Homo-oligomer: A and B are copies of this chain.
Amino acid sequence: MRKIILSLMALVSLTASAQFGRPRQNPRVPSVVAEVEDFKPAVTNQENRQYPMVNSQRMVRAQISAPTATSVGLDIDGKIYEMTKDENGVWTGTSAPQDEGFHYYQLNIDGASVPDPGSKYFYGAGRWGSGIDVPAADQDFYTVHNVAQGSINEVYYWSSVTESMRHGYVYLPAEYYSNPTKKFPVLYLQHGMGENETGWSAQGHTGIIMDNLIAEGKAVPFIIYMDNGLNARRPGEEGPGFGGRRPQGQGGPGGRGFSNPFEDVLIKDIIPMVEKNYRVLADTPHRAMAGLSMGGMQTHGISMNNPTTFAYIGIFSGGTFRPEELKDNADFKKTNKLIFMSCGGKENMGVDNAAQALKEIGYNAHSYVSPETAHEWQTWRRSLYQFAQLIFK
């Protein structure tokens, strides 16, 4: 238990400083790399906005008009880059090179941390704010193509656990509409700390990745359900909804204590709702759970506490299963068809060794390391792309 809490804290801390672009005590730094002047508007920009831009070195350049401001900074990747003012009161500044893929950022105007009016807004770091997508060599897999299109569906449902209406998203593959009698497997897919139920479809491009994979025959069509793993609270409860300890004596195997009360919402409300409202293959062999970072740890805890509920498990940048917790777990072993563990190449999570160790005790374990990425969305887009090709086959 101690180990799990420590590793959770490490993840939260890592996420808060490196991924979220919302640091509190950042050094203000100049951009020191020589800049190649081939900047283009980012794909994540609002329509017809020129800034922010990205160049071939993956440097981000922001610009904002603030005629009477005395100090403006671009706050990205744990650093604030000073911007400079021209004679028209327009401030411009450029960051160091960023990893391929998606990054949260913001502007700092005379001490106010605000969204950049040039970007679209995404939920992460506990706020709706600016995001920017840095072009990647492999971006085709999450680019919209003219293939059969599924849809991301926004739904509300009643939760008996929180005694309130809750909000989530369902991905339905194209065949759900075109083949009206077919039933489909379901993946329950969770976001990370400081994010919410919009993350996987907006930053993660879940629907686009799945449509492309299915069109190429690389994945079988399945449904994906995405909820908010942070805001589930029982009536009268306060604090973060990812839950503290379970009440004594109610812990599952390992007493993981991480998934309460979201675990209850998932097991008691979400899965029954999905299996009632949609054409679902409503049995364990057709049920998967995965998540990124905190959502990976929730997947870990919930699958251990409910060992006969999910046949396929994916943990993206969320730690690893240890052989000692799975070796003699008869229910889990009998149920599990695949364990997938991934992380970014700039993280050091030992997923390859962990998969090897699980294979040695008889599990169908897979690992994936995303090249040249850290604890960030490009790692998780790629992880979903890999994981989706392995499950329900």
Interface residues of A in 79-134 (CB under 8 A from B): 89, 107, 109-117, 120-121, 126-129
Does A1 reach chain B (CB closer than 8 Å)?
Answer: no
Chain B residue numbers with a CB within 8 Å of A113 are: 65, 117
CB distance from A128 to the nearest CB of B (A): 5
Does A272 reach chain B (CB closer than 8 Å)?
Answer: no
CB distance from A79 to the nearest CB of B (A): 19
A66 touches B154 (CB 8 A): no
B121 touches A114 (CB 8 A): no
B65 touches A112 (CB 8 A): yes
CB distance from A173 to the nearest CB of B (A): 12
CA distance A122 to B228 in the complex (A): 21
Does A71 reach chain B (CB closer than 8 Å)?
Answer: yes
Chain B residue numbers with a CB within 8 Å of A67 are: 110-111
B111 touches A110 (CB 8 A): no
Q: How many residues of A contact B (CB 8 A)?
A: 55
B111 touches A112 (CB 8 A): no
Chain B residue numbers with a CB within 8 Å of A292 are: none
B149 touches A151 (CB 8 A): no
Taken residue by residue from 208 to 230, chain A's Cβ proximity to chain B (1 for < 8 Å, 0 otherwise) reads as: 00000000000000000000000
Which residue from B110, B152, B155, B278 sits with its C-beta under 8 Å from A149? B155
Binding site for B on A (CB under 8 A): 46-48, 64-72, 89, 107, 109-117, 120-121, 126-129, 144-146, 149, 151-158, 165, 170, 172, 177-178, 180-181, 196, 201, 207, 231, 277-279
Q: 23 A-B Cβ contacts within 8 A?
A: A47-B231, A64-B114, A65-B111, A65-B113, A68-B70, A68-B71, A69-B69, A72-B112, A89-B111, A109-B112, A112-B114, A113-B117, A114-B116, A117-B129, A120-B128, A149-B155, A149-B156, A149-B157, A151-B154, A153-B153, A154-B154, A154-B201, A178-B277
7 cross-chain pairs, A with B, having the tightest CB-CB distances, nearest first: A66-B112, A67-B111, A69-B110, A151-B153, A68-B110, A114-B114, A153-B153
